[in-house]
Amino acid sequence: MAGANILAELGGFDGAAEVLQAWRDGMAPEPALLVSDWADRQRVLGSRGSAEPGPWRTSRTPYLREVMDALSPMHPARRVVFMKGAQVGGTECGNNWIGYVIHHAPGPMLAVQPTTELAKRFSDQRIDPLVEETPAIRQRVAPARSRDSGNRQLSKEFPGGQLVMTGANSAVGLRSMSARFLFLDEVDAYPGDVEGEGDPVALAEARARTFGWRRKTLLVSTPTIAGLSRIEREYLASDQRRYFVPCPHCGAMQWLRFERLVWERGEPDSARYLCEACDGAIGEQHKTAMLAGGEWRPTAIAADPHAIGFHISALYSPVGWFSWSQAVRDWEAAQGDDRAIKTFKNTVLGET
């Protein structure tokens, strides 16, 4: 934005573009690259952590683009809430953000898992592959072998910053550092109170306060029980964005809900989606084009103008990951079992 102002001031001056480029190269206080663009250029998924190894493609999960881009430093959102079902690629948002910070926008970052044990697992299963498989990041984080390399299980140093991982059950861990970037993962599994010091989310966010408007917090979770769910509370306080996709028959934009799926009882493979405008039957084969033509729309006004929230269910899973037939199969299998229905609502629909 500052760049645009300077360009406007330079007006029709010959060479304005070059001056602007030089300014961008040498003096820009914030990088102009979006997190999704960074991921498309740099991120490599390895066979260890991904069912689809190879270069990251945001086009595979188009609904993640805006979530990731809200994490770019130039985006005005300070708090990004992501309430999600399983099988939508949601965890990769956080991973791409971490990669972006290490490579492109270095600063102190705190990644919080529900427990310290889970933070260790997150480090081994998510961060180590991220570092090893993406060349741009590998160059910036020292190998773990040497003792003073700055690469420990719960702390990775890189030029201009540090990534610390901790558990929401550890007050010491949450107080360990000031962090500009906070990645709060699976917040519905956090304790309500951490070692008598209060809410772990509040404790973590207090560490970011010194960064003022430059701070950024991402809260991600699959929800749990209505009324107790932290992610639902945060989402309801946000602008409550839903991903609207176009009907292949009439073009009406709508967000996908399980109630609009129909099927012959006992035959999940007959599942199809009925457009809420024209009642036309929509099949799995339409999904890819619908996702590509979709857009996030707010459905509420946020109390905090700097808080934005996204909700997405597994009904949006790209073709090949989790089908509408599978959702129906899971639903039928859960009948008569309250716990199984609850699990279905949480993990498939991403609802409490």
Cβ distance to Zn ion smaller for residue 17 or 277: 277
259: left (phi over 0), alpha (psi -120 to 50) or beta: alpha
Cβ distance to Zn ion smaller for residue 35 or 275: 275
- Give least dist CB 316 to Zn ion, A: 17
- Give least dist CB 291 to Zn ion, A: 16
Cβ distance to Zn ion smaller for residue 84 or 286: 286
The beta-strand segments (E) located in 33-77 are 44-45, 54-55
Write the DSSP assignment of 68-110 as a string of letters. Answer: HHTTSTTSS-SEEEEEE-SSS-HHHHHHHHHHHHHHTS--EEE
Cβ distance to Zn ion smaller for residue 144 or 274: 274
Structure-block tokens of residue 246: 């176009």
Cβ distance to Zn ion smaller for residue 22 or 278: 278
Cβ distance to Zn ion smaller for residue 203 or 275: 275
- Give least dist CB 49 to Zn ion, A: 38
The pairing of strands 216-221 and 181-185 is parallel
Q: How many residues bind Zn ion (CB under 5 A)?
A: 8
Q: What span, in angstroms and rounded, lies between the C-alpha atoms of 226 and 351? A: 8
Q: What span, in angstroms and rounded, lies between the C-alpha atoms of 86 and 69? A: 21
- Give least dist CB 275 to Zn ion, A: 3
Query: How many Cβ atoms are within 10 Å of 91's Cβ, its own excluded?
Result: 17
Cβ distance to Zn ion smaller for residue 138 or 260: 260
Cβ distance to Zn ion smaller for residue 278 or 292: 278
Q: Which residues pair with 309 in a beta bridge?
A: 81
Rounded to 10 deg, the angle between the 35-42 and 90-103 helix axes is: 80
**What is the SS3 string spanning 295-306?**
EEEECCCCCCCC
- Give least dist CB 273 to Zn ion, A: 10
Site string for Zn ion, 122-161 (x = CB under 5 A): ----------------------------------------
- Give least dist CB 296 to Zn ion, A: 20
- Give least dist CB 264 to Zn ion, A: 21
Contact set for Zn ion, span 265-284 (CB under 5 A): 275, 277-278, 280
Decide if residue 39 touches Zn ion (CB under 5 A): no
Angle at CA of residue 224, ends 265 and 228, nearest 5°: 135
- Give least dist CB 284 to Zn ion, A: 16
Contact set for Zn ion, span 7-26 (CB under 5 A): none
Site string for Zn ion, 231-270 (x = CB under 5 A): ----------------x-xx-x------------------
- Give least dist CB 60 to Zn ion, A: 25
- Taking a C-beta distance cutoff of 8 angstroms, is the pair 86, 222 a contact? yes
The pairing of strands 44-45 and 281-282 is unpaired
Residue with tokens 């140093």: 157
Total residue count of the chain as it appears in this document: 352
- Taking a C-beta distance cutoff of 8 angstroms, is the pair 318, 287 a contact? yes
Cβ distance to Zn ion smaller for residue 49 or 280: 280
Structure-block tokens of residue 186: 């699976």
Q: Which parts of this chain interact with Zn ion (CB under 5 A)?
A: 247, 249-250, 252, 275, 277-278, 280
